[in-house]
Structure 1
Amino acid sequence: MFRIERLQALHAVDRHGSVAAAAETLHLTPSAVSQQLSKLERDAGVRLLVPHGRTVKLTPAGKVLAESAEAALDELTRARTRIDALSGSITGPVRVGTIPTGVYVFVTEALTTLVTGHPAVEPAVVEAEPEKSLPMLVNGQLDIAVVESWDNMPLTRLPHTTWRALRDDTARVMLSAGDPRAAADTINAQDVARDSWVSWTAGSRAHAWLCHTLRERGVEPDVRHYVTGYATQFSLVTRLGATALMPAMSLAVASGYDVRALRLDDPSPRRTLYAVTADSQPRPAVSACLDALADAAQLDHATP
């Protein structure tokens, strides 16, 4: 008999192409995934993986078992949904992947409301950008992904996913309060063309969006700082005079930083936040969480 966690490891390697990528998706170390795969090979009595350059590939037997693993994992998910639907109980785990501003502004509030009304729900949060959370959702590691889609760089909607709009937001140019330009309400991209920029980490979708937004306005950004976390960006804006392009909702963590938020004209980019699921008929606990997210997102939060 094959254990579920070992089948999950093989399925993740098949989906993502390497042990390292599978480990990241499963929130395990590569060593732990390799151990699960070794045990699965012993259970199967055949080789399931072989070296392939710097990574691995599945043998024919590995492919057969990976396909069966996918079917088994899908069936277990459907069984959980049917069991919950029979009882109508709002219970069990709800795994939410969310962009950082979602956590700051409304996701934590939504989950607090959810567990207050339904104490048997077990929420879990993973802070992740869409390029990570959407694959996790499709692969069954998440129940809900809270993502952002900018009007000038929209997300691709994966097949068999359901998208529920939560709220809109706009981009802001963040300047130090001492910058002479900070007294204005709006700013033109050409007015910040020679600035030093702070961005999310290189290779991330957030970094790509910043570069795309400025380039479509004729500006090639001089990105000097690559960081994770909006608070770190605000610190660099305040202390080093860097310039940032961030969602207005990020101002939820601006307390203590002397920054000014200006609209980028031409016009200012807008984004929509969505709650995405991979099941058109989610189990009751997930449905209740979707409602709580929608309610919390629409509350009057102070984001200019």
Structure 2
Amino acid sequence: MFRTERLQALHAVDRHGTLAAAAEALHLTPSAVSQQLSKLERDVGTRLLLPHGRSVKLTPAGRVLADSADTVLGELALARTRLDALSGDITGPMRVGSIPTGVYTFVTRALTSLAGAHPDVEPAVIEAEPERSLPMLVNGQLDVAVVESWDNMPLTRPPHTHWRALRDDTARVMLPATDPRADQDTIDAPELARDRWVSWTAGSRANAWLCHTLRERGIEPDIRHYVTGYATVFSLVAGLGAVALLPAMALAVASGHDVRPVRVDDPAPRRTLYAVTAEPHPRPALEACLDALADAAQLGDGGTDG
């Protein structure tokens, strides 16, 4: 019989393509993964992997065993879920990947509540955009991904994932307080045609969304600043007179920066935040986490919906 940890090593290499990536997913060293694979090859009596550039590829025997490992490990996970459900135990690690505004406004609050109610749950948070968190979820590196999907640029849903809507949010134009338009309730898109913009890093989904949203409104954005954090955005808006288009929830980190949020009257772009999972039968701890996220998301924050 094959030992589970050796099948897990082969399964991880099959999913991730390299020993290093498999080791990261399994929270092991590459050397430990290599040792497990060597032992599995001795168990089978044939080679399972071959070098392929900087990665590895499975031999025909490796492919047969990897496919079987996927089935076996899936059945073991289902058995674990059913056993947990019978016992009602809410325990174990809970790895949550979340967009930044989620962390700032409700994810931390949700996990604090979860850990308070269930001390044997061990929360861990990774701040990540959907283009990173969804692959991590599918590859088994996360239990939950908190993501955003804009109405005008919806996310692609990976197969076999489950999406639970948490809340809606709308975009606001962020203006320096000294801007004559800052006291308006709304701003028409043509009024923004000559502004200089702050954007997320070029090539990111957030950058693509900004460009797409402005071009929908007939504006070719003059992007002067590229950043990776909301605090930097607010600093540039307040200090250099740039403008930004951000989720209203981002105002939770605007403290100390003299900026004003104004609605875009076009109508305003809207996004939905989701908790995404990949377990077909969520164990009790995951169900408790999803409930905590849903409850915390509705409690309000520094942003404004609607």
TM-score range, shorter chain: 0.7 to 0.9
Q: How many residues align?
A: 299
Distance 1:271 1:3, change over 3 A: same
Distance 1:176 1:137, change over 3 A: same
> What's the TM-score once normalised by structure 2's chain length?
0.87
> Which protein shows a greater Rg?
2
Q: Distance in 1 between matches of 2:64 and 2:173?
A: 52
1:173–1:244: 8 Å Cα contact kept in structure 2? yes
Instruction: Report the counterpart of residue 252 of structure 1 in structure 2.
Output: 252
Instruction: Report the counterpart of residue 143 of structure 1 in structure 2.
Output: 143
1:173–1:263: 8 Å Cα contact kept in structure 2? yes
- After TM superposition, the structure 1 = structure 2 runs for residues 57-206 of structure 1, keeping only pairs within 5 Å, are 57-206=57-206
Instruction: Report the counterpart of residue 207 of structure 1 in structure 2.
Output: 207
Q: Distance in 1 between matches of 2:64 and 2:202?
A: 38
SS at match of 2:64: helix
User: Which one-letter code corresponds to 2:35 in the other structure?
Assistant: K
Distance 1:28 1:116, change over 3 A: closer
User: Which one-letter code corresponds to 2:104 in the other structure?
Assistant: Y
Q: Distance in 2 between matches of 1:135 and 1:112?
A: 26
Distance 1:285 1:193, change over 3 A: same
Q: Distance in 1 between matches of 2:14 and 2:268?
A: 41
Distance 1:197 1:103, change over 3 A: same
SS at match of 1:255: coil
Q: Distance in 2 between matches of 1:242 and 1:36?
A: 50
SS at match of 1:263: strand
Distance 1:54 1:217, change over 3 A: farther
User: Which one-letter code corresponds to 1:143 in the other structure?
Assistant: D
Distance 1:53 1:113, change over 3 A: same
| 5+ residue gaps, structure 2 | none
SS at match of 1:90: coil
Deviations 1:67-106 (A, max 9, x none): 2332343233223212211211222222211111111111
Deviations 1:192-215 (A, max 9, x none): 223222222222221111111111
Q: Distance in 2 between matches of 1:292 and 1:87?
A: 20
| 5+ residue gaps, structure 1 | none
SS at match of 1:159: coil
Q: Distance in 2 between matches of 1:265 and 1:88?
A: 49
Identity percentage of aligned residues = 73
How far did residue 53 of structure 1 move? 4.9
User: Which one-letter code corresponds to 2:225 in the other structure?
Assistant: H
2:78–2:281: 8 Å Cα contact kept in structure 1? no
Distance 1:300 1:239, change over 3 A: same
SS at match of 2:159: coil
Q: Distance in 2 between matches of 1:288 and 1:257?
A: 37
> What's the TM-score once normalised by structure 1's chain length?
0.88
How far did residue 54 of structure 1 move? 5.4
Q: Distance in 2 between matches of 1:301 and 1:165?
A: 17
User: Which one-letter code corresponds to 1:139 in the other structure?
Assistant: N
